[in-house]
Amino acid sequence: MTHSRRRVLLISSLGHAYSHACMLSIPPLLLLLRDEFSLSFTLISLAVTASGILFGLGALPFGPLSDRIGAIRVNIIGVVLAIVAGLGLYFATSSYVFVSFLLLLGIASSTYHPSAFNMISCMYTSEMGRAFGINGMIGNVGQIGAPITAGFIAYTWGWRPVFLLLVAIGIVVLALLVSVRTFSFESPPSEEGGRSFMLARPFLLLLVITMLGGLAYRGIVTMLPSYTSIIFQQNTFEGGTLVTLLLLMGGVSQIIAGELRDRLGASRPFLVTTLLALASVAIMMTDTYSALLVGLILFGFSYFAINLYTNTIIGEVAPTGQKGTVYGIMFFARFGLAYVAPFIVGAVTDLYSIRYLFHIAAAFLVVLVIFTAYFYATRSRSVTP
């Protein structure tokens, strides 16, 4: 990897961390926002959920846009929108204004993944695993650091400075992105093969696999603090630290998985990690704290590795000039549709018990393993890993 391409990757990866930081800085502020704007917890949570859905849904138009105008330009658009949203949230004096800019923040953050993954898959073909691994690890840093930083700032100075910090970081990221000159690396738009590929069996299999993994992950991450509070009588902060542990393992796993992909290909490690994900959830079903810790470490490692393998396989097989579109659909399946999982877990908890959290995740992962095994069998007959 040349110096110039390494620089582009690092700058783009900072954008990855920033996109997640924008979204994950909100949850620690919910109680303060509820009191500031005299909203019910249901309404403020609904606004955050709507912003999260737009985070996934926005990938559908921005993916094709990156195919047409280039990934860096789309990333720049996203950061500019995030800066505007951050300023609007900082100065908001009514709930209507605040919610409007919160929705804009979700749209702004949705621009990153399909466009950047498009660029990475085109620029780093010989070291795609390593490039996606570095990008994913830095993205996880944003996921880990944002809620901790936002909570500390809000506790010390109030909630408004959190958005001022996001604006300041956005300006730095914007300046770095504007300094990048990578447009010559990006693939020209092409309509050939795009529609037929998105109707082909390999893509549909990967789409279902991505959606099932996202459902399992989103259900666990969203409900884990409640699970540990009810089952082990922990406070929500202690439950949140377990999510941090999962994300830390995810950052490590993406580096390792990327190296394995570049050495062995993606198909065989892909199948192994799906089996590991299923095994990790089975361990957590035992309802002991030691098993929970072991299972979370293994699940964090395997889930983020699965994401890396699906991303690199798409980078290998998606038609040139259509990769942004394909990544947009995949991202929507992983993040947009996955928001169904907490509702499923919540309904099962009301009817039965939160002890079934990992049983539900296991059900998703059993189907995921079946689809992955079928994908591996069909791919190995036609492509040497």
Res 379: pLDDT: 74
State the number of CA atoms in the 13 A half-sphere of 204 facing the CB.
7
DSSP secondary structure string for all residues of 271-318: HHHHHHHHHHHHHHTT--HHHHHHHHHHHHHHHHHHHHHHHHHHHHHS
Res 97: pLDDT: 96
Res 295: pLDDT: 95
State the number of CA atoms in the 13 A half-sphere of 52 facing the CB.
21
At 313, the amino acid letter reads I
* DSSP classification of residue 9: H
Q: State how far the Cα of 214 lies from the Cα of 144, in Å rounded to an integer.
A: 18
Distances (CA, A) of 43 to 51, 53, 97, 359: 12, 15, 14, 30
Q: State how far the Cα of 282 lies from the Cα of 361, in Å rounded to an integer.
A: 9
Tens digit of pLDDT at every position of the chain (385 positions): 677 888 999 999 999 999 999 998 988 888 888 889 988 877 887 888 888 889 989 999 999 999 999 899 999 999 999 999 999 999 999 999 999 999 999 999 999 999 999 999 988 888 999 999 999 999 999 999 888 898 889 889 999 999 999 999 999 999 999 998 654 455 555 445 555 666 678 889 999 999 999 999 988 887 787 788 888 887 656 766 888 889 999 999 999 999 999 998 888 899 999 999 999 999 999 989 999 999 999 999 999 999 999 999 999 888 888 899 999 999 998 888 877 787 788 788 788 888 888 999 999 999 999 999 999 888 765 544 4
Res 227: pLDDT: 84
Q: Which helix (H) or strand (E) holds 189?
A: none
Q: Compute the residue count for the chain.
A: 385
Place of tokens 């908890």: 349
Instruction: At 17, give phi and psi (nearest 5°).
Output: -60, -40
Nearest CA-CA partner of 305 in 262, 256, 264: 256
Sign, Cα dihedral of 128, 132, 133, 138: positive
Domains of the chain as residue ranges with CATH:
3-178 (1.20.1250.20), 194-379 (1.20.1250.20)
Q: State how far the Cα of 171 lies from the Cα of 150, in Å rounded to an integer.
A: 18
Q: State how far the Cα of 219 lies from the Cα of 362, in Å rounded to an integer.
A: 11
Cβ atoms of residues 19 and 142 within 8 Å: yes
Res 306: pLDDT: 95
Place of tokens 């956005």: 170
